[in-house]
Homo-oligomer: A and B are copies of this chain.
């Protein structure tokens, strides 16, 4: 961090000079023009009272803004972290500013413009007096907030408000605000903080967009070019890191808004940091795209990179469970969903500018509101005209990487069951060391969980609402995930420098059949000399009510290791088919790589071919049935060791541990099979439908798994381990029976 202080001091000289030159020459443009347009406003006014969802959304923001106007203007001297008073107040201010601007345009009542103007004047008086924010934690401290990121949020929203009242202000007032507030503000988060502005990161996206938005309002092309293509020089070095441990600069890195579209978005519209951050970035991406489209259509932003910005909205909707919660991949906070304000905006814009896909209308109906602008009106009109059709989430693969060649996320869905299989790239500084990990959902409830992050966003009493140290010591570590840990050490030794150089490699993905949906991927860099190859299938048989998950994890190595495979089941354990010892006192399972946060609650021994674990979760019975080796250790764990501040949830886990082997295969079935009702007190199908699971063959070429059901049905899945093309012909004889097929896998039913 110290390297930055000096660096920043040096930059400020430059900044002082730049200031004067960058004031835009007043130039008469039409306003508003960003998210509201003159024609849009006219149309909105004409439809007022006739479009229910628009009217109620308008009434909501009116009520909110009127209450704020009544409470007066509050522009406190910045002091607090997120969650604290000054932080929350400035955050509220920019949200209200934007809404007040919109109300002025739509309702044509001066009081809203006056409110915006007065608040801007208060900021223009305060801003020039501000040093950097007193909280020192950030690698890029803001002035209103503890980090430039939040200052950028402020400017993105404030720009829209400025656009709305632009014509209401006198030329002199505009000049004053631009000189005292907007231009210095834009310069501070760009020239003043190149380590923030000149990156490929969601932070920089906000920074770029903030500068771009105010540039568009002021018709300042210098700011716009900076926004689109970054600062020309930045003096950043390759060693620099942010306070999350992420790199600042990569050799040859392009920067600016376009670079932030190019790099983190895959051709499938997957954002490499994961859905939680994609949601966060969605707002600046789309609000700016809309503004750029409106003001500078020549950039053809919505067509850019094969329309990836529009595509990314549907991608993001597909990255949510049945009730709209985003899968908590990487540093994702659970509970964030497509009900967030960012998704309302993104969806409305994607609808208006993306061909008015009627499936989006059904999500907007669930959201229950629209943005109060051109896009929101279009959505509300579509709903009013009964054009909505259901948004169907299907099984799909979302490739990762700018070119789509850095692995991906495989999502397998069938009848309420959702399997999320992660074989993606590292995901920048918010990535976890969780190669080939997975999570399972049933009707929107987590069954095998991804822990998510160790942070309580904006809750001040938990570390100022910022990342907790347990995010590094636990949440990011491999053992916190449903994947293989070798020798109690995280993938890539838990080192970002290494992890960020590698992505897993997809073997195949096939979700065409209604009976089996399957994905397979390999990881050979997580541990040197060891290859992990996992194949996961979601299988539905007509004889049983629920689909089940079959997990085949093959490990091949050049040397002897210990392998741990954790299962973070959620719910209450009902029964096991093996015996285990329970320790008298609970000790941590290890000392590092996350093991220091696990208590050992029980240790079992294997004396059968299959072990099973039966549990109840949200009134559904599940069983995990696994193939076991004679020397396997079975560990019951509980999160919470070495967590004196109770930052972690006390969730259960189960680990299959195999010691002193080079190669290993872990096969397990995770199966919902019955229901319980605490009201009727009926337990239906409380026990597994699986009689046995067996590895029939496992070598370089093929792995064959046989599942026998309680009704004596037999399913055999054969996976082609080395030749996974769709066309390849295969033939293999197992137990004197010959199987012949084309493609990477074969499922037989008997």
- Residues on A close to B: CB < 8 A? 83, 88, 333-337, 339-341, 456-462, 465, 572-575, 580, 582, 584-588, 599, 601-602, 614, 616, 636, 638, 640, 643-646, 649-650, 652, 676, 678-683, 686-687
Instruction: Contacts A644-B602, A678-B333, A678-B334 given; indicate if A683 touches B586 (C-beta within 8 A).
Output: no
Instruction: Contacts A585-B586, A586-B586, A587-B585 given; indicate if A646 touches B678 (C-beta within 8 A).
Output: no
Main secondary structure of the interface of A (DSSP, over half): loop
Decide if B575 touches A461 in the complex (CB within 8 Å).
yes
Copies of chain A in the complex: 2
- Rounded to whole angstroms, the CA-CA distance of A45 and B283 in the bound complex is 60
In the complex, which residue of chain B has the Cβ closest to the Cβ of A337?
A: B679
Instruction: Contacts A582-B644, A585-B586, A644-B582 given; indicate if A336 touches B679 (C-beta within 8 A).
Output: yes
Rounded to whole Å, the gap between the CB of A297 and the closest CB of chain B is 33
Nearest 7 A/B pairs, CB to CB: A335-B678, A586-B586, A582-B644, A461-B575, A573-B646, A461-B574, A585-B587
- Rounded to whole angstroms, the CA-CA distance of A649 and B615 in the bound complex is 13
In the complex, which residue of chain B has the Cβ closest to the Cβ of A341?
A: B680
Instruction: Contacts A614-B461, A650-B638 given; indicate if A682 touches B574 (C-beta within 8 A).
Output: no
| Residue of B649, B679, B683 touching A339 (CB-CB under 8 A) | B679
Rounded to whole Å, the gap between the CB of A230 and the closest CB of chain B is 28
In the complex, which residue of chain B has the Cβ closest to the Cβ of A343?
A: B679
Contacts of A461 in B (CB 8 A): 574-575, 614, 686-687
| Residue of B334, B460, B640 touching A686 (CB-CB under 8 A) | B460
- Rounded to whole angstroms, the CA-CA distance of A645 and B636 in the bound complex is 11
Contacts of A335 in B (CB 8 A): 678-679
Instruction: Contacts A459-B574, A462-B574, A572-B646 given; indicate if A683 touches B83 (C-beta within 8 A).
Output: yes
| Residue of B340, B599, B636 touching A586 (CB-CB under 8 A) | B599
Rounded to whole Å, the gap between the CB of A430 and the closest CB of chain B is 16
- Rounded to whole angstroms, the CA-CA distance of A588 and B646 in the bound complex is 19
Rounded to whole Å, the gap between the CB of A692 and the closest CB of chain B is 19
Contacts of A83 in B (CB 8 A): 683, 686
Decide if B459 touches A678 in the complex (CB within 8 Å).
no
- Rounded to whole angstroms, the CA-CA distance of A422 and B60 in the bound complex is 43
- Rounded to whole angstroms, the CA-CA distance of A452 and B512 in the bound complex is 47
Contacts of A460 in B (CB 8 A): 683, 686
Pairs A–B under 8 Å by Cβ, sample size 27: A88-B682, A333-B681, A334-B678, A336-B678, A340-B680, A456-B574, A456-B616, A457-B678, A458-B683, A459-B574, A459-B616, A460-B683, A460-B686, A461-B574, A461-B687, A462-B574, A462-B575, A572-B646, A573-B646, A582-B644, A585-B586, A585-B587, A585-B588, A586-B586, A586-B599, A601-B640, A602-B644
Find the residue from A336, A340, A676, A681 having the highest chain B CB count within 10 A: A681
- Rounded to whole angstroms, the CA-CA distance of A601 and B335 in the bound complex is 28
Decide if A676 touches B459 in the complex (CB within 8 Å).
yes
- Rounded to whole angstroms, the CA-CA distance of A458 and B621 in the bound complex is 13
Contacts of A682 in B (CB 8 A): 88, 458
In the complex, which residue of chain B has the Cβ closest to the Cβ of A279?
A: B679
Contacts of A599 in B (CB 8 A): 586
- Rounded to whole angstroms, the CA-CA distance of A649 and B573 in the bound complex is 10
In the complex, which residue of chain B has the Cβ closest to the Cβ of A651?
A: B650
- Rounded to whole angstroms, the CA-CA distance of A456 and B572 in the bound complex is 11
Contacts of A573 in B (CB 8 A): 645-646
- Rounded to whole angstroms, the CA-CA distance of A431 and B679 in the bound complex is 21
Contacts of A640 in B (CB 8 A): 601, 638
Rounded to whole Å, the gap between the CB of A314 and the closest CB of chain B is 20
- Rounded to whole angstroms, the CA-CA distance of A582 and B596 in the bound complex is 14
Contacts of A333 in B (CB 8 A): 678, 681
Rounded to whole Å, the gap between the CB of A148 and the closest CB of chain B is 18
- Rounded to whole angstroms, the CA-CA distance of A582 and B120 in the bound complex is 50
Contacts of A652 in B (CB 8 A): 646, 650
In the complex, which residue of chain B has the Cβ closest to the Cβ of A582?
A: B644
Contacts of A616 in B (CB 8 A): 456, 459
- Rounded to whole angstroms, the CA-CA distance of A599 and B582 in the bound complex is 14
Rounded to whole Å, the gap between the CB of A43 and the closest CB of chain B is 29
Contacts of A458 in B (CB 8 A): 681-683
Rounded to whole Å, the gap between the CB of A457 and the closest CB of chain B is 5
- Rounded to whole angstroms, the CA-CA distance of A640 and B582 in the bound complex is 11
Contacts of A646 in B (CB 8 A): 572-573, 636, 652
In the complex, which residue of chain B has the Cβ closest to the Cβ of A687?
A: B461
- Rounded to whole angstroms, the CA-CA distance of A88 and B686 in the bound complex is 12
Rounded to whole Å, the gap between the CB of A687 and the closest CB of chain B is 7
Find the residue from A335, A336, A586 having the highest chain B CB count within 10 A: A586
- Rounded to whole angstroms, the CA-CA distance of A90 and B580 in the bound complex is 35
Contacts of A337 in B (CB 8 A): 678-679
Query: Other than the known A334-B678, A458-B683, A460-B686, what 8 A-B pairs have Cβ atoms closer than 8 Å?
Result: A88-B682, A341-B680, A456-B574, A459-B676, A459-B686, A584-B588, A585-B585, A650-B652
Contacts of A457 in B (CB 8 A): 678, 681
Contacts of A580 in B (CB 8 A): 644
In the complex, which residue of chain B has the Cβ closest to the Cβ of A459?
A: B683
In the complex, which residue of chain B has the Cβ closest to the Cβ of A575?
A: B461
Rounded to whole Å, the gap between the CB of A646 and the closest CB of chain B is 4
- Rounded to whole angstroms, the CA-CA distance of A645 and B579 in the bound complex is 10
In the complex, which residue of chain B has the Cβ closest to the Cβ of A615?
A: B646
- Rounded to whole angstroms, the CA-CA distance of A587 and B583 in the bound complex is 10
In the complex, which residue of chain B has the Cβ closest to the Cβ of A340?
A: B679
Rounded to whole Å, the gap between the CB of A679 and the closest CB of chain B is 5
Rounded to whole Å, the gap between the CB of A18 and the closest CB of chain B is 34
Contacts of A687 in B (CB 8 A): 461
- Rounded to whole angstroms, the CA-CA distance of A575 and B602 in the bound complex is 30
- Rounded to whole angstroms, the CA-CA distance of A336 and B461 in the bound complex is 36
- Rounded to whole angstroms, the CA-CA distance of A460 and B572 in the bound complex is 14
Contacts of A643 in B (CB 8 A): 582
In the complex, which residue of chain B has the Cβ closest to the Cβ of A325?
A: B678
- Rounded to whole angstroms, the CA-CA distance of A133 and B443 in the bound complex is 40
Contacts of A601 in B (CB 8 A): 640
In the complex, which residue of chain B has the Cβ closest to the Cβ of A650?
A: B650
Rounded to whole Å, the gap between the CB of A649 and the closest CB of chain B is 7
Contacts of A459 in B (CB 8 A): 574, 616, 676, 683, 686
